[in-house]
């Protein structure tokens, strides 16, 4: 392979971007931005250039205590006692306020984690859609639920009460929406919350907090602290927290689960994945090519549910390798602020190193890089960015690390399965041969056959000929991909505590 260079697009000088927040020293408690107690700082870096452009307080246990205290007082106030339809009205107002801030959200998000603007431009609309969807569930909460004793002689009134003060902890890959999918159901349920963003991406969420405040949500209902994993740990274990909702890596999820187990504290965990796209022998590869990046390499490969293992039938193996290679190679890599960019940088320097280690391990194990396979060298101010060339590995075998472990970067693996006589059992076995169980896709033209294969996949969500998550349907992982679900009525139930009041007729 020859040394690849890419033209860096001319983009507006970053310093001139209209970003609402850069260097800040406050956190959001009791309905106001207030100075953090800790004196430590966390830097915010632009992963496309390597430049530090912002910073936030590295909060302390005292900050956590103040935030949880604020949420606790608000939980003793009017918020949980409002009718669900009244809280839904707040959610609708938040949705409007979020949409007004679409540009700030997109640019801040892109500068924090390098998500191409073609991706982050949709963040506000998606967040607003999530608030509106959960607002639509107010009826479900308001419906009276009375159940007769099966043997007669009495009935039970089933109450759905808010679970209490919730700790919401998020990763850096989709810093806005992975909080909003927790915040919206928590608020509708009548809970109060303390949010902790990931350290690389603490600024875009401030814009969401501003939207919440502008919508008139009562003081203390939503609180926001910034800080390291240590602060997250203090939040998870705080005695006044009633529930933890976490999205992030499996190792941190295990630690949180252990802490919550000891405390008998309800917890929802959305963790890592290593999902497969099964290409059935009758798949339409041209159609697959059109959705491949979205379903297998969305957000430069930094999406939890994407199908980064492509399982290709032996009868069409070369064709699949050619299609995947040419599709990925055609995606433009470069400045995430350029609207034409498909692949940006890795979100952090440490993620860049992790991804490069996986690329090297794939090469060392004998996988064949059909495109990419090394760090990208870009020009035009992007020389210091954390770019890895979008990489496709063919001839991957199930035992290779790149086939088993979550890479979380722009790397796809293609594995071959034996489809002799049209039998796809081996593909299903390969897809299910993983510790994870989050996403998956089946590509095939026969809808019944594709559905039958989807039914056999041991995973929380599967798409047929595309992948997208639906706000109204549960999303969650099996096995090492997590516990519990988000989205849908199931996602709302995670913020409720049930009470049965038994009475005689």
Residue 70's alpha-carbon distances to 31, 113, 222, 413, 477, in angstroms, are: 9, 30, 9, 47, 32
**Residue 471 tokens, joined:** 């706000």
Alpha carbons within 13 A on the beta-carbon side of 477: 28
Residue 185 or 273: the one with the smaller Cβ distance to ligand NAP is: 273
Residue 129 or 200: the one with the smaller Cβ distance to ligand NAP is: 200
User: Catalytic one among 119, 270, 389, 406?
Assistant: 270
Q: How far is the CB of 482 from ligand NAP (least distance, A)?
A: 6
Q: Are 383 and 342 in contact (CB under 8 A)?
A: no
Q: Can you say whether the dihedral through the CA atoms of 184, 185, 189, 195 is positive or negative?
A: negative
Q: Are 109 and 197 in contact (CB under 8 A)?
A: no
User: Catalytic one among 191, 304, 346, 413?
Assistant: 304
Q: Are 17 and 46 in contact (CB under 8 A)?
A: no
Residue 202's alpha-carbon distances to 24, 76, 122, 213, 405, in angstroms, are: 10, 28, 19, 17, 27
Q: How far is the CB of 404 from ligand NAP (least distance, A)?
A: 14
Helix residue ranges per DSSP H, 339-467: 349-364, 401-404, 425-432, 447-456
Residue 296 or 370: the one with the smaller Cβ distance to ligand NAP is: 296
Q: Is 304 a catalytic residue?
A: yes
Q: How far is the CB of 207 from ligand NAP (least distance, A)?
A: 18
| Ramachandran quadrant class, 381 (left: phi over 0; alpha: psi -120 to 50; beta: rest) | left
The residue of the chain with the least Cβ separation from ligand NAP equals 232
Residue 170 or 324: the one with the smaller Cβ distance to ligand NAP is: 170
Q: How far is the CB of 424 from ligand NAP (least distance, A)?
A: 26
Q: Give Rg (Cα) of the chain.
A: 23
Q: Is 99 a catalytic residue?
A: no
Q: How far is the CB of 217 from ligand NAP (least distance, A)?
A: 23
Residue 171 or 313: the one with the smaller Cβ distance to ligand NAP is: 171
Q: Are 306 and 467 in contact (CB under 8 A)?
A: yes
CA dist., res. 306 & res. 298, Å (int)? 7
| 488: enclosing H helix or E strand | helix 488-493
Residue 258 or 451: the one with the smaller Cβ distance to ligand NAP is: 258
Q: What is the largest CA-CA distance in the chain?
A: 82
Q: How far is the CB of 205 from ligand NAP (least distance, A)?
A: 11
Q: Which string of b and e fits 234-255 if b means at least 16 CB within 10 Å?
A: bbbbbeebbbbbbbbebebbee
> Where does this chain bind ligand NAP (CB under 6 A)?
169-173, 178, 196, 198-199, 228-229, 232-233, 236, 247-249, 252, 255-256, 270-273, 304, 406, 408, 438, 477, 482
| Ramachandran quadrant class, 243 (left: phi over 0; alpha: psi -120 to 50; beta: rest) | beta
Residue 100 or 255: the one with the smaller Cβ distance to ligand NAP is: 255
Residue 162 or 175: the one with the smaller Cβ distance to ligand NAP is: 175
Helix residue ranges per DSSP H, 283-393: 285-296, 298-301, 317-330, 349-364
Q: How far is the CB of 152 from ligand NAP (least distance, A)?
A: 45
Q: How far is the CB of 425 from ligand NAP (least distance, A)?
A: 28
Active site residues: 270, 304
């Amino acid at each position: 392979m020859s040394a690849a260079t890419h033209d860096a697009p001319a983009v507006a000088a970053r310093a001139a971007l209209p970003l609402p927040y850069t260097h800040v020293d406050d956190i959001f408690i009791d309905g106001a931005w207030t100075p953090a107690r800790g004196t430590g700082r966390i830097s915010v870096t632009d992963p496309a250039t390597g430049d530090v452009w912002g910073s936030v307080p590295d909060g302390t246990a005292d900050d956590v205590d103040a935030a949880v205290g604020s949420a606790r007082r608000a939980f003793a106030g009017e918020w949980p006692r409002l009718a669900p339809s009244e809280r839904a009205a707040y959610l609708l107002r938040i949705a409007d306020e979020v949409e007004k801030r679409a540009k700030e959200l997109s640019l801040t998000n892109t500068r924090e984690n390098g998500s191409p603007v073609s991706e982050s431009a949709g963040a506000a609309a998606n967040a607003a859609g999530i608030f509106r969807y959960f607002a639509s569930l107010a009826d479900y909460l308001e419906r009276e639920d009375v159940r007769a004793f099966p043997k007669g002689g009495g009935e039970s009134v089933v109450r759905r009460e808010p679970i209490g003060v919730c700790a919401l902890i998020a990763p850096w890959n989709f810093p806005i929406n992975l909080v909003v999918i927790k915040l919206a159901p928590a608020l509708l349920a009548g809970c109060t919350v303390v949010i902790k963003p990931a350290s690389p991406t603490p600024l875009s969420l401030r814009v969401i907090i501003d939207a919440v405040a502008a919508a008139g949500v009562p003081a203390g209902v939503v609180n926001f602290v910034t800080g390291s994993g240590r602060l997250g740990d203090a939040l998870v274990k705080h005695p006044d927290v009633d529930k933890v909702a976490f999205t992030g890596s499996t190792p941190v999820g295990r630690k949180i689960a252990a802490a919550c187990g000891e405390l008998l504290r309800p917890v929802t965990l959305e963790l890592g994945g290593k999902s497969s796209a099964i290409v059935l022998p009758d798949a339409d590869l041209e159609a697959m090519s059109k959705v491949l990046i979205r379903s297998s390499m969305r957000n430069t490969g930094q999406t939890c549910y994407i199908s980064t293992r492509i399982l290709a039938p032996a009868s069409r193996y070369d064709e699949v390798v050619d299609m995947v290679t040419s599709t990925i190679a055609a995606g433009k890599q470069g400045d995430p602020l350029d609207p034409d960019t498909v692949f940006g940088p890795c979100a952090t320097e440490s993620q860049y190193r992790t991804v490069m280690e996986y690329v090297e391990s794939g090469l060392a194990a004998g996988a064949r890089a059909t495109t990419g396979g090394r760090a990208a060298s870009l020009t035009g101010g992007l020389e210091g960015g954390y770019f890895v060339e979008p990489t496709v590995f063919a001839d991957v075998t199930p035992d290779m690390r790149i086939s088993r472990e979550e890479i979380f970067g722009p790397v796809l693996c293609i594995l071959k399965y034996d489809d002799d006589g049209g039998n796809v059992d081996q593909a299903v076995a390969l897809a299910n041969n993983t510790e994870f169980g989050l996403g998956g896709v089946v590509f095939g033209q026969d809808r019944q056959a594709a559905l039958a294969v989807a039914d056999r996949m041991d995973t929380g969500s599967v798409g047929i000929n595309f992948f997208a998550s639906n706000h109204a349907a549960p999303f969650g992982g099996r096995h090492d991909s997590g516990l519990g679900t988000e989205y849908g009525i199931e996602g709302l139930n995670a913020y409720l505590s049930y009470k049965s009041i038994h009475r005689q007729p």
